[in-house]
Homo-oligomer: A and B are copies of this chain.
């Protein structure tokens, strides 16, 4: 939004000032308000509790999902910019609004996260059952096939087939595991949906929306910010990223099949794998770096394919990590059949290997990455 408009002979060429930050924040605030309006118009039922509706989705709910995604998207970018360019903004204002934006995007993200987690796990169950079924472009799973198989009489033992591994058919264990996950994650999703609706109707949210409306017209920069150079602050964000990446076990991650991710796969600790935390942290720092580049370079920043690849690997890492946790969690349900527990164990390990694969993919993309100063 700034650099590319400067003439090469401009004495300030290469510097990007607080004006660019103000422009970016105003644009994101406008985007936020637009998404909010759309969300209200479409009824905000993107995660309606009824399963059929939530799985298939009608036009209204799809628009609502898009609106919620756009809300989260701009909230994340505003929050990230307030963080990275903190010294250039009114401190009291930015320190009061950042936790509110984090609360909002966190609350709005849960519903989508549960839906995506369920879809990932059901797809994996199908794959592991040798069912030659690919998800449709929209990622929808044949829910009828899953629950149909789950209704089949459960015989003792594991190897009871609900038919040959055809489209939609799963073994009893896999089918029961799928049904259990569907029950648990749909419930979680429904709750997240209610929480999100409550949040969007709360006075706390209205205060955030008012703040963002103000931001769309006037950005509270410090007096010095208009002429201050943004690049040292963006460089500091990048440095935090590269420092965190340097602390990752990338040598191990670069060795295929290093079997690291499944260590503690049977550990008694039900908490998320502690080994995942530094990767999650890098994911957040990469996002901050990416948004800082957006502030500096505008739309040009989006063409960095390698950074996108690295980010996608870390998203996949996060998704697989949480899906593995959900499978382990489901296995703790009292009174499940051994065949169900076995299928959940296979599923858990499968997702932990996805975690390992994602780390490998990140390492590969990062190796290729030339990190220059923005």
Contacts and interface: CB of A to CB of B under 8 A. Distances in A.
Interface of A: 125, 127-130, 156-162, 164-165, 170-171, 173-174, 256-257, 259, 262-270, 328, 331-332, 334, 336-350, 353-354, 356-357, 360-361
Contacts of A349: 345-346, 348-350, 353
Nearest to A270: B159
A267 B129 contact: yes
A264 B165 contact: yes
A268 B262 CA distance: 25
Given A158-B332, A332-B158, A266 B129 contact: yes
A127 B263 contact: yes
B266 A346 contact: yes
A339 B125 CA distance: 19
A129 B265 CA distance: 6
Contacts of A340: 338, 341
Contacts of A160: 268
B350 A264 contact: no
A161 to B, nearest CB: 3
A125 B4 CA distance: 57
Contacts of A337: 338
A93 to B, nearest CB: 45
Contacts of A257: 256-257, 353-354, 356-357, 360-361
B170 A130 contact: no
Contacts of A268: 159-162, 164-165, 171
Contacts of A270: 159
Contacts of A162: 268
Given A157-B334, A338-B338, 11 more contacts: A128-B263, A129-B267, A161-B269, A257-B353, A257-B360, A259-B353, A259-B357, A331-B339, A337-B338, A341-B345, A346-B348
B128 A170 contact: no
B259 A256 contact: no
A179 to B, nearest CB: 14
A334 B129 CA distance: 22
Nearest to A159: B270
Contacts of A361: 257
6 contacts: A257-B361, A339-B341, A342-B348, A345-B346, A348-B349, A349-B350
Nearest to A170: B266
A201 B269 CA distance: 52
Nearest to A127: B263
Contact of A266 (B156, B164, B343, B360): B343
A262 B351 CA distance: 11
Contacts of A266: 125, 128-130, 170-171, 173-174, 343, 346
Nearest to A161: B268
Contacts of A338: 331, 336-338, 340-341
Nearest to A359: B257
Contact of A353 (B263, B336, B353): B353
A349 to B, nearest CB: 3
B158 A331 contact: yes
A357 B56 CA distance: 38
Contacts of A171: 266-268
Contacts of A332: 157-159
Contacts of A356: 257
